[in-house]
Amino acid sequence: MKRYNVLNSLWLGLLLVILALPLSVAAMEMEDCLGCHSDVDEVGDDLFIDEDKFLPTEHAEMGCVTCHESVTDEHPDDGESVSSADCLDCHEELGSEYMATAHAENASCSDCHNPHQVHGIEAVSGPDMNQQCSQCHEDVDVMDSHSQWLPQASLHISKLPCITCHTSAEAYEIVLNITQKKKKSEGGKGYRFSTYDDLKQYSNDKEIQQLIDIDGDNHISLAELRTFNKNPEYTDLHLSGTMVPSEVSHDLSTLDNRYDCTFCHASGPGSMQTSFVAFPTEDGRYQRMSVAEGAMLDTLYGTPNFYMTGPTRSAAMNIIGLIIICGGFVMPIGHGTLRFLTRNNRKH
Amino acid sequence: MAEEHQHQIYLQPIPVRIWHWINAFGIVTLAVSGAQIRFPEYITLLGSYKSAIYLHNTAGFVVAISFSLWFFYYTFVTRTMANLYVPKVEDLKTGLVKQAKFYFLTYFLGWDNPHHPTPDSKFNPMQKSAYLAIMFVMMPLVSLSGIFLTNVDPLRGLIVMIGGLKLLAGLHFLLACCLIAFIPTHIYLATMGRTPTDHIKTMWTGWEEEEEHDEKPETGGVTSGH
């Protein structure tokens, strides 16, 4: 019985090797392509593919040839031009949604997306996302036009991804990024997003996630958030929050309800339930970790620097405030009653 | 003039009256717009959220400027700030107790107010302590936190250092609640003059009826000062 099994798997293994052999011989593999195309000296700037950015993407799993079908073994010596797939072939839903909007005449998919560096919304920071837009919409112009109607325009523009206001979405979620004080050598003032290497200096031999997720359970509790925020060693770090669509849509037509502040600001504390911390990864992307529900509403230490007038108001503060205001009526009511009852004492 | 105001003293000069009513109007505006900014789902008195914000910022600016002018007037023009607003040692030692006893006991028995306002000593010891807290602690802090909240981006470093935006917004909110709580108390005490509208008229005309000092406390039912 046992021998039969071993023999069987041997055959199976041999079969697999035989089947795989012709594939690797016949066509160029991804490594072959990258052998030339990830080397600037070989192909020049225009045809350069950044291997470190390409390999972690979903697109890398398909290999080069899936999208560049016409490439031959003689490439590049054959002088034939290589075909490139159309995004719409595979991204029907988002693609057709975008193509139906007026903006499709202004920008094509690859104006915003480098097909060799794609990422989902969860793997990119707000500022990086806005980089796509600022290629054509210059920051100063955007600031100028938005500050004509948007209170605190610079705060909104610097904090929010453009697509939070400029695309529709069923739901939104809060994403917190670790930011750090700029060093003197970096031009001083303000904060910038921490990179993986920056955070590694704080976490030393531990994973950077454990700066916040102390128990390593891949989930951030309110207690862990508070501990992080109060840790005196991290005074230069703070969590900066933003609001992003839960799911990407590509309807870039201007949305009237974003003109009405209450779309976000009257969404109530219920809209603040889902949140994540986005940790930078070694390859310049981000990886999210879920945060305990409602942590955004913690009175003081949960997220001390995320405050959105309206939805993030704390219930505890409201109660204290109400008690204080009621205190203001003690004198008129209490004293007033006694004053009324003793009014005869003050008459002649 | 002298004829007309024979038994009156000029207690509230014009700048103080102007300041008082700008301040009163401003604070009520701030309270209403502030409530809409914090509770936009429930309060929509001022129309759009944006108009509430613009109104709040403008009113905040007006109140902060008028506060500065008030401060300047008392400190540098009349130079009576310390005298009027800072309780003296005897105020703290005996004055406070005496005044409290009046408000909460002897007033009901029909006694006279132990404090007689004059332009140099407008406030009784309790008023002094209350106004000291309000004008020198709460108003400056609420204005300062408001200025921070309208400039979050440029002042981010400072805000993080203080302990965060939530702390700042919480402080701003609770201080505002304290100031709002003061309004009913303030208005109520303002009705405790000779007649219920006496003090309120004074804040409009500047003139206050003078005390009739020869009256005995037991019979001098009418009082002055709050």
Q: Is the pLDDT of residue A222 over 90?
A: yes
Put simply, the answer to whether A342 touches B108 (Cβ < 8 Å) is yes
d(CA A198, CA A213): 17
Residues 6+ apart with CB under 8 A from B76: none
Contact A308, B160 (CB under 8 A): no
CB A178 within 8 A of CB A193: yes
pLDDT at A217: 94
Tokens for B18, please give them: 């102007």
The per-residue pLDDT string of chain B (226 residues; one tens digit each, 9 = 90 and over) reads 445 566 777 778 888 888 899 999 999 999 999 999 999 999 988 889 999 999 999 999 999 999 999 899 888 887 877 777 888 787 777 888 888 888 888 887 878 788 887 777 778 888 888 888 899 999 999 999 999 999 998 898 899 888 899 999 999 999 999 999 999 999 998 887 777 788 888 888 878 776 554 444 433 333 333 4
- The Cα B101–Cα B119 span in angstroms is 24
Mean pLDDT of chain A: 88
Tell me which of A37-46, A227-236, B109-118 is least confident. Answer: B109-118
Query: What single letter denotes the amino acid at residue A83?
Result: S
Kindly state the tokens that stand for A119. 């990422």
pLDDT top residue among A16 and A140: A140
**In chain A, helix, strand, coil percent, each to 5?**
50, 10, 40
Which of chain A's residues have a Cβ under 8 Å away from the Cβ of B163? 300, 304
The domain spanning residue B22 has which CATH number? 1.20.950.20
Number of separate domains in chain B: 1
Query: CB A345 to CB B108 under 8 A?
Result: yes
Q: Mind telling me how many Å the CA of B13 is from chain A's nearest CA?
A: 28
Locate the chain A residue with the closest alpha carbon to B174. A321
Q: Does B153 touch chain A (CB under 8 A)?
A: yes
- Nearest chain B Cα distance for residue A179, angstroms: 11
Mean pLDDT on A169-173: 89
In a domain, B71, yes or no: yes
The CA angle A227-A233-A237, to the nearest 5 degrees, is 80
Domain that holds residue B192: 8-209
CA-nearest of A139, A128, A134 to A195 is A128
Give the count of beta carbons closer than 10 Å to the beta carbon of residue A74: 9
Q: What does the pLDDT read at residue B4?
A: 57
Determine the Cα–Cα distance for residues A306 and A238; give it in Å rounded to an integer: 10
Phi-psi label, residue A118: left if phi above 0, alpha if psi -120 to 50, beta otherwise: beta
Share of chain A above pLDDT 70, in %: 92
| Cis status of the peptide bond prior to A269, with omega within 30 of 0 | no
Q: For residue A13, what pLDDT band results from cuts at 50, 70 and 90?
A: low
pLDDT exceeds 60 at position A11: no
Q: What is the mean pLDDT of residues A256-284?
A: 89
Report CB contact under 8 Å: A332, B188. yes
Q: CB distance from B48 to chain A under 8 Å?
A: yes
For position A9, what pLDDT does the model report? 59
pLDDT of residue A20: 47
CA–CA distance, A56 with A63 (Å, rounded to integer): 12
Round the CA-based radius of gyration of chain A to a whole number and report it.
29
Contact A317 B40 (CB under 8 A): no
SS3 B208: strand
* Cβ contacts of A199 within 8 Å, gap of 6 or more: A178, A208, A211, A279, A280
B218 falls within a domain: no
Q: Could you give the angle at which helices B165-190 and B14-38 cross, rounded to 10 degrees?
A: 130
Domain-embedded: residue B223: no
For A106, other C-beta atoms within 10 Å of its C-beta total: 11
The string of pLDDT tens digits covering residues A91-123 is 999 999 999 999 999 999 999 999 999 999 999
pLDDT for A59 beyond 90: yes
Buried b (16+ CB within 10 A) or exposed e, A269-278: bebbebbbbb
Interface test with A, best of B42, B156, B168 (most A CBs within 10 A): B156
The chain B residue lying nearest A316, using CA atoms, is B170
Rounded Cα–Cα distance for residues A299 and A312 (Å):
9
ipTM, 2 dp: 0.84
- The pLDDT-based confidence of A23 (bands split at 50, 70, 90) is very low
Instruction: Among A151, A265, A348, select the one facing B54 at the smallest CB separation.
Output: A151
Q: Distance (Å) from the C-alpha of residue A116 to the closest C-alpha of chain B? A: 35
Residue A1 has pLDDT above 60, yes or no: no
Backbone dihedral angles phi then psi of residue A219, each to the nearest 5 degrees: -150, 140
> How large is the C-alpha radius of gyration of chain B?
20
Mean pLDDT for A241-268 is 88
